[in-house]
């Protein structure tokens, strides 16, 4: 049995079979071929699921009358190592037995395996008399085959098989057209499969990103809670130390001062040096009492718990004015009330901005505003000092600025700083109203 039956036994001799003269029948056939190629290319270019696309191509191809084939066909795809063909999709009717047995065909096996191995168009005129048709099925009816390799850039992607009658009249004109169609199909399959792979990859990536984002959000929330808890612990501790300093230390020192006064009164007239020393000690104790009160107030100003945030901000601004001589204009809404944690956070941020102004700004004037602005509470502190390089804002060593941001973040808030050398500094703290509603 020859590899390819006569008269057109394969692609190698298609030049012989190609009509030389432009007779009317050639003309018609060429027109038909162009139409077929055009139609197939059109289907392959229209976005569609790969199997559906291939079934449509098989329908068009088997419907091409000049080819004279049955309206059933199928496509195998080659595995990545070019060892087996796997049935990818079929068009027309096939038995369950066929579909089951033909799920995989090794390269070199039966007609399709042979065409895959050689990469050549293969034609078989009878399934019963052609020895290469090794696979048999129950109730197999006589038929022949066109087995078309699907090659893209010389790489075998798969096989397309068509059914003919036994001893068919082989397609009279260029069998090249079948190989061309095979090439078009291979290119489209490759592109589609790549796209599908890419799509799967993208989806996978998206789900990983989504997962990571969720993890990060959860982690951020945990950190926020931890930070909040630590802040509460720190504040409680400061409150306790402030009370101890104020009450215990303050009372002991007061007692000491009274004792010294008592002692002073009992010193004899002639004991002037001792009397002076006691007087000195009384002064020193008095100063220490003042100092403890200051430390206690700085640890936790009682006014914050007694009078609320707005009063405390105004008080703190006055304190700075008195201590440094920097004029402090204050515009504060007194009607605002907050839960204790938020009051403390805003107060601590304010303290840090004032400390920074005293330490770094060389300012003459400071403007402070605190009010509700739409859906946020807004604190602004503006100085007319030396300003700073914006790079400083991001510097890892700027712990004070970082602490301000972290404190605001606990309440979903932000701290923005506008500054440039020579142009002063504006600090704007915004806290969403919903976070601290009282």
Ligand X SMILES: Nc1ncnc2c1ncn2[C@@H]1O[C@H](COP(=O)(O)OP(=O)(O)O)[C@@H](O)[C@H]1O
**Residue numbers at the binding site for ligand X (CB under 6 A):** 356-357, 359-361, 383, 385-388, 392, 398-401, 425
* Selected range binding Mg ion among 23-31, 201-209, 278-286, 392-400, rule: CB under 5 A: 392-400
Which CB sits closer to ligand X, 60 or 358? 358
Q: Tokens 């079979």 sit at which residue? A: 17
Write out the binding residues for Mg ion, residues 333-362 only, by CB under 5 A: 356
* Selected range binding Mg ion among 20-28, 51-59, 380-388, 394-402, rule: CB under 5 A: 394-402
Which CB sits closer to Mg ion, 265 or 359? 359
Which CB sits closer to ligand X, 346 or 357? 357
Of 250, 400, 403, 432, which one interacts with Mg ion (CB under 5 A)? 400
Which CB sits closer to ligand X, 61 or 427? 427
| Joined tokens for residue 47 | 């976005």
Which CB sits closer to Mg ion, 124 or 344? 344
Q: Is residue 376 a contact partner of residue 432, using CB atoms and an 8 Å limit?
A: yes
- The verdict on whether omega for the bond into residue 7 sits within 30 degrees of 0, i.e. cis, is yes
How far does the chain reach from its first CA to its final CA, in angstroms? 96
Q: Tokens 């002639």 sit at which residue? A: 270
424 contacts: CB under 8 Å, gap ≥ 6: 361, 363, 382, 383, 384, 385, 386, 387
* Burial class (CB within 10 angstroms; exposed 0-12, middle 13-18, buried 19+) of 227: middle
Q: Which does 193 bind (CB under 5 to 8 A by kind): Mg ion, ligand X, none?
A: none
* Burial class (CB within 10 angstroms; exposed 0-12, middle 13-18, buried 19+) of 389: exposed
Q: Rounded to the nearest whole angstrom, what is the least distance from the CB of residue 399 to Mg ion in the complex?
A: 7
Q: Rounded to the nearest whole angstrom, what is the least distance from the CB of residue 346 to ligand X in the complex?
A: 17
For the chain, give percent helix, strand, coil, nearest 5: 55, 15, 25
Q: Rounded to the nearest whole angstrom, what is the least distance from the CB of residue 405 to Mg ion in the complex?
A: 12
Which CB sits closer to Mg ion, 312 or 356? 356
d(CA 77, CA 160): 9
* Strands 327-332 and 365-373, sheet pairing: parallel
Q: Rounded to the nearest whole angstrom, what is the least distance from the CB of residue 421 to Mg ion in the complex?
A: 18
d(CA 197, CA 250): 76
Q: Which does 392 bind (CB under 5 to 8 A by kind): ligand X, Mg ion, none?
A: ligand X
| Joined tokens for residue 266 | 């009992």
Q: Is residue 250 a contact partner of residue 289, using CB atoms and an 8 Å limit?
A: yes
d(CA 309, CA 338): 8
d(CA 412, CA 306): 26
Q: Rounded to the nearest whole angstrom, what is the least distance from the CB of residue 356 to Mg ion in the complex?
A: 4
82's enclosing H/E stretch is none
Which CB sits closer to ligand X, 172 or 405? 405
Which CB sits closer to Mg ion, 302 or 400? 400
C-alpha closest to that of 410 among 378, 438, 432: 432
Q: Rounded to the nearest whole angstrom, what is the least distance from the CB of residue 245 to Mg ion in the complex?
A: 24
Which CB sits closer to Mg ion, 187 or 400? 400
Q: Which does 398 bind (CB under 5 to 8 A by kind): ligand X, Mg ion, none?
A: ligand X
Q: Rounded to the nearest whole angstrom, what is the least distance from the CB of residue 359 to Mg ion in the complex?
A: 6
Q: Rounded to the nearest whole angstrom, what is the least distance from the CB of residue 387 to ligand X in the complex?
A: 6
Cα→Cα distances 31→36, 38, 174, Å: 9, 10, 12
* Selected range binding Mg ion among 183-191, 227-235, 271-279, 395-403, rule: CB under 5 A: 395-403
Q: Rounded to the nearest whole angstrom, what is the least distance from the CB of residue 271 to ligand X in the complex?
A: 51
Residue nearest to Mg ion (CB): 400
* Strands 84-91 and 104-106, sheet pairing: antiparallel
Q: Rounded to the nearest whole angstrom, what is the least distance from the CB of residue 333 to ligand X in the complex?
A: 23
Which CB sits closer to ligand X, 6 or 394? 394
- Number of residues located near Mg ion, criterion CB under 5 A: 2
Q: Which does 385 bind (CB under 5 to 8 A by kind): Mg ion, ligand X, none?
A: ligand X
Half-sphere exposure in the Cβ direction for 422 (13 Å, CA): 0
Phi, psi of 180 (to 5 degrees): -60, -45
Residue ranges that bind Mg ion, judged by CB under 5 A? 356, 400
């Amino acid at each position: 049995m020859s590899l390819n039956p006569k008269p057109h036994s394969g692609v190698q001799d298609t030049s012989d079979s190609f009509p030389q003269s432009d007779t009317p029948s050639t003309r018609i056939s060429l027109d038909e071929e162009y139409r077929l190629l055009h139609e197939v290319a059109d289907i392959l270019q229209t976005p569609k699921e790969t199997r559906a696309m291939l079934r449509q191509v098989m329908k068009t191809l088997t419907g091409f009358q000049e080819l004279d084939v049955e309206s059933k066909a199928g496509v195998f795809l080659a595995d990545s190592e070019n060892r087996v063909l796997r049935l990818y999709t079929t068009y027309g009717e096939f038995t369950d037995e066929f579909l089951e047995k033909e799920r995989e065909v090794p390269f070199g096996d039966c007609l399709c395996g042979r065409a895959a191995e050689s990469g050549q168009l293969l034609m078989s005129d009878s399934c019963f008399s052609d020895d290469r048709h090794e696979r048999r099925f129950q109730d197999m009816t006589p038929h022949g085959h066109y087995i078309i390799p699907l090659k893209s850039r010389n790489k075998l992607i798969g096989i397309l098989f068509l059914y003919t009658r036994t001893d068919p009249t082989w397609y009279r004109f260029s069998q090249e057209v079948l190989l061309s169609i095979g090439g078009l199909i291979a290119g489209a399959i490759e592109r589609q499969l790549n796209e599908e792979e890419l799509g799967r990859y993208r989806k996978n990536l998206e789900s990983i990103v989504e997962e990571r984002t969720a993890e990060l959000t959860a982690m951020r929330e945990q950190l926020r809670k931890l930070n909040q808890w630590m802040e509460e612990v720190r504040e409680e501790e400061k409150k306790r130390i402030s009370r101890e300093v104020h009450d215990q230390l303050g009372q002991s020192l007061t007692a000491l001062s009274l004792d010294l006064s008592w002692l002073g009164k009992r010193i004899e007239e002639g004991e002037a040096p001792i009397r002076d020393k006691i007087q000195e000690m009384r002064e020193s104790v008095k100063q220490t009492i003042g100092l403890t009160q200051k430390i206690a107030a700085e640890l936790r100003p009682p006014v914050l718990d007694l009078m609320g945030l707005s009063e405390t901000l105004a008080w703190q601004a006055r304190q700075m004015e008195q201590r440094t001589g920097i004029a402090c204009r204050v515009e504060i809404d007194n009607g605002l009330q907050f839960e204790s944690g938020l009051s403390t956070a805003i107060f601590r941020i304010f303290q840090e901005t004032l400390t920074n102004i005293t330490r770094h700004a060389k300012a003459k004037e400071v403007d402070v505003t605190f009010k509700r602005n739409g859906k946020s509470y807004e604190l602004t502190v503006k100085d007319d000092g030396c300003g700073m390089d914006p790079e400083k804002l991001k510097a890892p060593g700027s712990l004070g600025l970082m602490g301000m941001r972290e404190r605001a973040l606990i309440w979903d808030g932000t701290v923005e700083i506008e500054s440039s050398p020579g142009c002063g500094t504006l600090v704007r703290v915004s806290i969403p109203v919903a976070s601290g509603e009282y």
